Structure 1
Amino acid sequence: MNSINYDAVKAAKSKSRALSFDEIQEFGRKIEAIRQDTMAKIGKEDSDYIYKVRNFVRYTEIASRGMLMFGGWIPPVWLLGTAMLGVSKIVENMELGHNVMHGQFDWLNDPSLNGANYDWDTICTGEDWKYTHNYIHHTYTNVLGKDHDIGYGVMRMTRGQKWEPRFLFNVPVAFVLSTGFEWLLSLQRMEFEKVLSGEKTLKDVYLQSGNWRKKALRQFAKDYVFFPVIAGPMFLPVIAGNFFANIIRNYWSSAVIYCGHFTEDAEMMEDNTANETKAEWYLRQIRGSSNFTGGKIIHFMSGNLSHQIEHHLFPDVPANRYQEMAPKVRAVCEEYGQNYNSASFAKQFASVWARLAEHSLPDQMVDKIKATRSKLSLKNLFARAA
């Protein structure tokens, strides 16, 4: 029996064909074959790639911080230095840190690129990230009540979540989350929303936040104390450059994450994971994920999470392989009538905000608005006139 039950959470109508249990198992075998074929090719090409990525991060950080420290009062130099530092932070987080901490390059036996040891340039500790993201999110992708990434506990994303007045602020909350993405996402494991519901106290959160407080202090000191102080007379340009570089990183990172998880066609499911087969897990990853198209630069800048479907299917496969895997996954999806949710970045990004806006309102109000719009559509007006 298929363990995925969409009707129970009143999900949006799926664009995918319903599959029998046997079809799902065969579907899963074909997806697994893609993984095995790719893993058999992993080697020097992949190691060369990740070392080039690391060098890119190092050299762009050195160059950008140098520009801010020695030419920060010159507006064009400050702008270029800030933008380059933002790019460096984006690539470090998304193409280097995120992928390394998934264990994608553990096979290199390089301690500096080992998922257990890597410490990335962001507030969230590696330990917290690997628990909330690698374990919780990737195990229970888009499962209501299990995957905290569904709205991060503060946004309503589906009719399966009971409407509350606070969700009227879905859109502004999403914008605030994007602005402070580094800080707010790092608090995810503390589950502050449980303080509002009375399930936890502030004391509980404080006791749980020891490692977070140490990492946050270290990151804050690096960007807003150490580098500005050693810059001497360039203190203000450096501190401003670091601040805006972090904002650049926050907006881009959140946009990539939103487009991979919150588009209108990304489906949410009830929890039936106890009896879920690997093939059903594969199917759930596809139905709950979104890709966006683009060239080499956009794939690189997104840490290849422009291929979020492939990342959810194969989180331990080096992400630089996702682009070659994508057409194969898409072909299997087409064979079995499964929606392969892919569109331009602009279209996916717009659909995210449309979804946030829709679910900010009570379901009855949304239904009335849609019914009214349907009645007033030109097609229906002409039909009635005829």
Structure 2
Amino acid sequence: MAITDIKAFAHLTDSDIDALRTDLDTLRREVEQSRGHRDREYILRAIRIQRTLEIAGRATLLASRQRGARYLGIALLTTAKVIEMMELGHNISHGQWDWMNDPEIHSTTWEWDFAGPSAQWKRSHNYVHHTYTNVVGLDEDLSFVVLRMTRDEPWRPIHLIQPLVSVVVAAGFEWAISLHDWGLERRHTSAPRRHLVSAPNTAFLRKLSRQLGKDLLFFPALSGRRFKSTVQANVTALVLRNLWAYVVIMCGHFPDGAEKFTVEEFENENRGEWYLRQLLGTSNFTAGPVLAFLTGNLCFQIEHHLFPDLPSNRYADIAVRVREVCDKYDLPYTSGSLPHQFWQSYRTVFKLALPNRLLRRTADDAPETRSEQKFANRLPHPVTPTRYGLRSALAAAAHKSRGQRI
């Protein structure tokens, strides 16, 4: 099953976790105190780049008569939508730039280019997901509601088709997220299902109408006789943006080493253990500056979950310090190339489409789901927190079980 005792799993004492909290709190405070002109210029430049690309893309599609120009317009519009969703909408809505007190670049006023309202997404993502990260039964993002991504979730026959379902979710990622957020908002406000004009329904339908009208009616209408081809181009840009967002999110939450946790572990959690859960429950992938920008710097998912409201342009520098903290406490820092992280994530989608009895490893010792019980009979001698850190314990357990079928 998922981790029930994070201290036992990480092989840390109470004093170790207190020291970990102090180190990460100090890092947060240093970044907060150093925010300034460089960060302001970064977000303003990102907004200019995004708007320039969108104007260029839409203008190219409106004027294009050749196939090559149309492909260029799609590429420009797709890139603009990727930047708006990943670097602007996601990060601004997290409050990363609220410290500037700019009314136009603020989590309370920014409405992103997305099917669902920002307010509904912020409740689902900023509060639910970032509070209950990878807690089985509380974090609905753990499975995107429809996928089985941990052996802690009981297998059902419907899971046999989840490799196909995952493709549908990827292509319509924007819709999957928006519908999920809408449902959560209705539950949160206790809006009756039959009350069609409830506040959540009204907000969702208003935003949905605006988005569909913009991409499927208004801009295509400006292209006159090329209405149909412009609709097709806009839909293509939306699907490509959705696929990219899906890949980035999968790589940050589901590769091997992104651990899962029980409700019992969460209920007794202190601030240091919250930090530890974020660090163990997420993963990064390597990226240069351009790729990082196109992911909204979510290639640094570990740093984002540790400090979701710090400016995204700081994550690369923060990552250096977080690695030092992991080395200090002998904790793993899960990272790899984008193809490698996505392959591991998607392998889990295919693997967990099958019932547990057809899988080799147990729910305590599977690559995608481990618990402190993994070490129970694997270490060469009794483990104490002062003798082993997690990386050392994992290495010792692997050495002990080498050659065994697990």
TM-score bracket, normalised by the shorter chain, equals 0.7 to 0.9
What does residue range 39-188 of structure 1 map to in structure 2 within 5 Å? 39-71=32-64, 73-188=65-180
Is this contact kept in 2: 1:264–1:354, CA < 8 A? no
2:343 alignment partner AA: A
> Mind listing any 5+ residue stretches in structure 1 that lack a counterpart?
370-382
Is this contact kept in 2: 1:15–1:338, CA < 8 A? no
Check if 1:290 corresponds to 2:283.
Answer: yes
Cα drift, residue 8 of structure 1 = 4.8
Check if 1:203 corresponds to 2:200.
Answer: no
Cα drift, residue 234 of structure 1 = 2.5
Distance in 2 between residues matched to 1:203 and 1:338, nearest whole Å:
50
Is this contact kept in 1: 2:2–2:152, CA < 8 A? no
The verdict on how the C-alpha distance between 1:17 and 1:7 changes in structure 2, with shifts beyond 3 A counting, is closer
Distance in 2 between residues matched to 1:281 and 1:8, nearest whole Å:
14
**Deviation readout 1:99-144 (Å, 9 max, x if unpaired):** 1111111111111101011000011211111100000001111111
Distance in 2 between residues matched to 1:368 and 1:45, nearest whole Å:
49
Q: Secondary structure at the match of 1:291?
A: coil
Is this contact kept in 2: 1:263–1:348, CA < 8 A? yes
TM-score (norm 1): 0.88
Check if 1:252 corresponds to 2:240.
Answer: no
**Deviation readout 1:175-206 (Å, 9 max, x if unpaired):** 110000111110113449x99xxx99853798
**Partner in structure 1 of residue 257 of structure 2:** 265
Cα drift, residue 67 of structure 1 = 0.3
1:99 alignment partner AA: N
**Deviation readout 1:267-316 (Å, 9 max, x if unpaired):** 11011333311110000001110100011111000000000000000001
Is this contact kept in 1: 2:93–2:107, CA < 8 A? yes
Q: CA RMSD in A?
A: 2.6
**Deviation readout 1:238-265 (Å, 9 max, x if unpaired):** 1111111101100001110111111122
The verdict on how the C-alpha distance between 1:368 and 1:200 changes in structure 2, with shifts beyond 3 A counting, is farther
Cα drift, residue 236 of structure 1 = 2.2
Identity of aligned residues (%): 37
Q: Secondary structure at the match of 1:245?
A: helix
What does residue range 288-367 of structure 1 map to in structure 2 within 5 Å? 288-367=281-360
The verdict on how the C-alpha distance between 1:205 and 1:260 changes in structure 2, with shifts beyond 3 A counting, is farther
Q: Secondary structure at the match of 1:298?
A: helix
Distance in 2 between residues matched to 1:121 and 1:183, nearest whole Å:
12
2:150 alignment partner AA: T
TM-score (norm 2): 0.83
Q: More deviation in 263-272 or 222-231?
A: 263-272
Distance in 2 between residues matched to 1:60 and 1:47, nearest whole Å:
20
> Mind listing any 5+ residue stretches in structure 2 that lack a counterpart?
363-402
Is this contact kept in 1: 2:85–2:112, CA < 8 A? yes
Q: Secondary structure at the match of 1:103?
A: coil
Q: 1:225 aligns with which of 217, 231, 249?
A: 217
The verdict on how the C-alpha distance between 1:205 and 1:253 changes in structure 2, with shifts beyond 3 A counting, is farther
Check if 1:242 corresponds to 2:234.
Answer: yes
Distance in 2 between residues matched to 1:165 and 1:275, nearest whole Å:
34
Is this contact kept in 2: 1:17–1:336, CA < 8 A? no
The verdict on how the C-alpha distance between 1:325 and 1:8 changes in structure 2, with shifts beyond 3 A counting, is closer
Is this contact kept in 2: 1:190–1:205, CA < 8 A? no
**Partner in structure 2 of residue 380 of structure 1:** none
Q: More deviation in 208-217 or 299-308?
A: 208-217
